Structure 1
Amino acid sequence: GCGMSDDTIKRVTDPFYTTRTTRKVGLGIPLLKEACERCNGYFNINSEIGKGTTVECSFERDNIDRAPVGNMGDTIITIINSLNNCELLYNYSTDEKSFVLSTLELRNILGGADIKSNDILLWVKEYINENMKNMSNY
């Protein structure tokens, strides 16, 4: 996105605050923050107007309250398909291994091909799922 003001950053974790006009609540960020903190992890959001926003979160891997990771392939291609004028950097790390996916790097490799095309999204999904299976304790 285009970044958020300091006032918006202060309010973004309130589930009854949203900049959307189609509904009166915004649950995504508040639920993510709560899930991180419930599992001895952390949540951090930094944003600068005109530059964009970075959301960083961590979960204690062996915490009994940590929800399963889920199908990251489907999740990431859904996010990629909704990106407009921004990039996604996904980093999944354990004590032993790390997997990183950067849409900016993918766009450079693709050399102008549409990252949102079905063939590319299906490849990205398979690439993510294959790498996630190779992570320890997935």
Structure 2
Amino acid sequence: MADYYLPIKHLHMTCAYLSITFFLIRAFWSITGSRMLQIGFVKVAPHVIDSILLICGFILAAMIGPNQPFILAKIVALIAYIGVGTIAIKRGKTPVQKLMATVIASLIFLYIIGAAINKSALSWFV
């Protein structure tokens, strides 16, 4: 199983990069009221990428073991990221609300990246 760790980790990291890229593009379109959000690919691709990201994350978590507090911190932050992200793209009532939600979601995403890199719930504050 350890032979698969690095390929799964790299797929996970690639999907994380694609996920935040798609999020920022879609948030921009949402803030500006673009009709691009209605394109089928734009609606489907992020869900496919995020599903692969989550599956890889679960596999990696199983591989490294259950006693890793940073994984729980990433999961809690992911839930917050999803909630705030829905405000940025769908539920925000004004462009300002959507912009603020985009900034907050991006900061949460940066926290998740820091927790992964430093393998600590303190993220970048280690």
TM-score under structure 1 length normalisation: 0.30
- Higher helix proportion, which one? 2
Structure with greater contact order relative to length (CA < 8 Å, sep ≥ 6): 2
* Rg (Cα) greater in structure: 1
- Higher strand proportion, which one? 1
TM-score under structure 2 length normalisation: 0.32
